[in-house]
Chain A
Amino acid sequence: MTTIPVLEARGLTRSFGNVRALDGVDFDVNAGEVVALIGDNGAGKSTLVKALSGNLALDSGKILFAGGEVELGSPSEASRLGIETVYQDLALAPHLNAAQNMFLGREIAKPGFQGRLGFMDNKTMRAKSREAFDELGATVRSLSDPVGSMSGGQKQAIAIARAVAWAKGVIFLDEPTAALGVVQTRNVLETIRRVRDKGVGVVFISHSMPHVIDVADRVQVLRLGRRVATYEAKKTSVEELVGAMTGALDGAHS
């Protein structure tokens, strides 16, 4: 491929004690593309996502953003580049409401002196949150109730809306459909396509092979901390993917 990937990892390694969670893993995602990242439990998917979203220090390897090497020392540095992540555990603050979660860490200050004292423009933040949820077609019934009391689907919607609203470069979705019903799942997949069409690179982690083939443009397979294969989603099959994940089809593409 001739385009420069919006985010690329080269030879990332990271060990936890004796366990090599990442063992020289490569990865790349282009702007306006959905890449599915699959692998068996313990293959290193979540570790790779943590590394690429600034939540994990690496032993070695390079991360390139739009072709330039970057250090992702903290989540806020990743955020500044427009890299957002929806974690498996959603990472919302359960006692805060939807709007507060949406803007946590990026509050809009009131104008002038009040803002400098730390007062926030709650009205604007609520309005913008409402817009963002509506744009996703997300049912978030209350902006003022704590999100801890909401259903799994609503929490999911809030977490995804937050990431989508801020992602300008890449968005990572770590098993976004794991806890969802049929309708919400369809919604999430629809959202993924919509975000891709805005020109954002989407990295979609899932154990559901039909969803992967349905929504992804390319599929990259991890096993034992390495990328073992890359497929065009249109030209692959569930059997082939499972084979690559488990190692039954060794040497497929690499």
Chain B
Amino acid sequence: MTTTEAVPRTAGTASEISRAHTLKQVLQVQSFQILLVLLVIFLAFSALAPEVFPTWGNVRQIIQNVSILGVLGIGMTFVIVTSGIDLSVGSNLVFSGVVAAKVMQAMGGSGWGTAVVGILVAVGCGLGWGLLNGVLIAKAKVPPLIVTLGTLGGALGLAQVITGGVDIREVPAVLQDTIGYGNVPGTTLPTISLLAIVLILIFGTVLHRTRFGLYTFAVGSNEESARRVGVKVDRQLISIYVLSGGLAGVAGILSLSQYGTTAIAGQSATNLNVIAAVVIGGTSLFGGVGTIFGTVVGLFIPAVLQNGFVIVGIQPFWQQVAVGAVLVVAVYVDQRRRAAAARGHAAKADGKRKLFGRRSR
């Protein structure tokens, strides 16, 4: 029947092909390529500063530094998989932190009662901004770039209105001591990092194992086809922006706990840093492709570079240059892959092998 065309290609060395295929597939996944890059960077700094860099104390510091960005990265990965973007996460973080700080300040006290209210308020604020983003994008059909650019300004502006532009520095001691710079009891793992890891595991499972995740990919891959088979696309998009907003709220309370201040001016590049990490990790800005794992790896590259440059005595400003380069290369690889995929399956495999070959040799 139709197999006449396929037979010459698949016959014969089928088992060899499939074995080589799986290995090649793993190496071709961008998040693994980028993991190799991270490994190389790590080994390079370890060689340059063997006494300081590869110690748990230093690694712990790096992990602690990326934790808040990791929480934001989860939501951003979902958003970018739908081929959207959320520029408002940094402002949303600030706004949520400010409102929570205000409420906790008004309540007084430094115990868990005040802290829990603060946490709920922060998450609530985040969800609210997310809902606004989602409804404007899904229902009003305003492009995500514009909507979240608007809420970026709106949330930051309102945060400044609320505080008069002066940071609030009263944060309940219990938040600072446990979540802020406390460790998980009995270990030296920062509590804030454990929280981030738990959220990453939960939402990684949601994205890659559940129907909600599948619909996220389906919407990003071909919105129209998802709609036609009955996926509630609007509701899916709204949920995803709500998720991103809610996680920004969580990040808001984490930031408040860690730094003990609302740090209104401190998050102006957060959105771009998170987006860069997501893209470096292999999530495509065109939608339909992405992993939470990649995002985590993508977050560590800038963090490790920054930390390493400081330790080996290079001006840390070089970190921005290096991250910029990694970002452009990552997107170039993604583009090549897409172009190859568009030319068809066989061409795709060849194209990737060539690319990877050039990298590893």
Contact = CB atoms under 8 A, between A and B. Distances in A.
Interface in A145-188: 145-146, 148-151, 153, 157, 181, 183-184, 187
Nearest to B223: A93
A79 B230 contact: yes
A165 B225 CA distance: 17
Majority DSSP secondary structure for residues of A touching B: loop
Interface in A102-160: 104-107, 109, 117-120, 137-139, 141, 145-146, 148-151, 153, 157
Interface in A82-100: 85, 87, 91-96, 100
B345 A183 contact: no
Contact of B344 (A118, A149, A184): A149
A5 interface: no
B228 A75 contact: yes
Interface stretch (B180-188, B203-211, B254-262, B316-324): B203-211
From DSSP, what is the main secondary structure of chain B's interface residues? helix
Contact of B228 (A55, A96, A118): A55
A74 B230 contact: yes
A246 interface: no
- For chain A, give the interface size range: 35 or more
Given A91-B222, A118-B210, A151-B345, A137 B2 contact: yes
Contact of A153 (B2, B212, B226): B2
Nearest to A108: B211
A75 B217 contact: no
B34 to A, nearest CB: 19
Contacts of A87: 228
Interface stretch (B3-11, B67-75, B103-111): B3-11
Given A104-B218, A119-B210, A91 B224 contact: yes
B211 A107 contact: yes
Contacts of A181: 5
Contact count band on B: 20 to 34
B3 A149 contact: no
B228 A93 contact: no
Given A107-B211, A120-B210, A120-B214, A93 B226 contact: yes
A174 B230 CA distance: 19
Contacts of B229: 75-76, 79, 91, 104-106
B231 A105 contact: yes
A153 B344 CA distance: 12
A87 B289 CA distance: 24
A23 B143 CA distance: 35
Contacts of A148: 221, 341-342
B353 interface: no
A95 B222 CA distance: 8
B29 to A, nearest CB: 13
A75 B214 CA distance: 19
B214 A183 contact: no
Contact of B225 (A92, A139, A183): A92
Nearest to A91: B225
Q: Which one of B229, B342, B345 has the greatest number of beta carbons of chain A within 10 Å?
A: B229
B212 A118 contact: yes
Contacts of B2: 137-139, 153, 157, 183-184, 187
B220 interface: yes
Contacts of B23: none
Contacts of A104: 214, 218, 225-226, 229, 231
B211 A96 contact: no
Contacts of A139: 2-3, 5-6
A60 to B, nearest CB: 24
Contact of B1 (A92, A119, A151, A187): A187
The 9 A-B residue pairs with the shortest CB-CB distance in the complex, in nearest-first order: A76-B230, A95-B288, A105-B229, A118-B210, A93-B221, A91-B225, A95-B221, A105-B230, A149-B345
Given A104-B226, A153-B2, 4 more contacts: A93-B217, A94-B288, A150-B345, A157-B2
22 contacts: A55-B228, A75-B227, A79-B230, A85-B228, A91-B225, A91-B229, A94-B221, A96-B214, A104-B218, A104-B225, A107-B214, A109-B211, A117-B210, A118-B206, A118-B211, A120-B214, A137-B1, A146-B341, A148-B342, A157-B2, A183-B1, A183-B4
Interface of A: 55, 74-76, 79, 85, 87, 91-96, 100, 104-107, 109, 117-120, 137-139, 141, 145-146, 148-151, 153, 157, 181, 183-184, 187
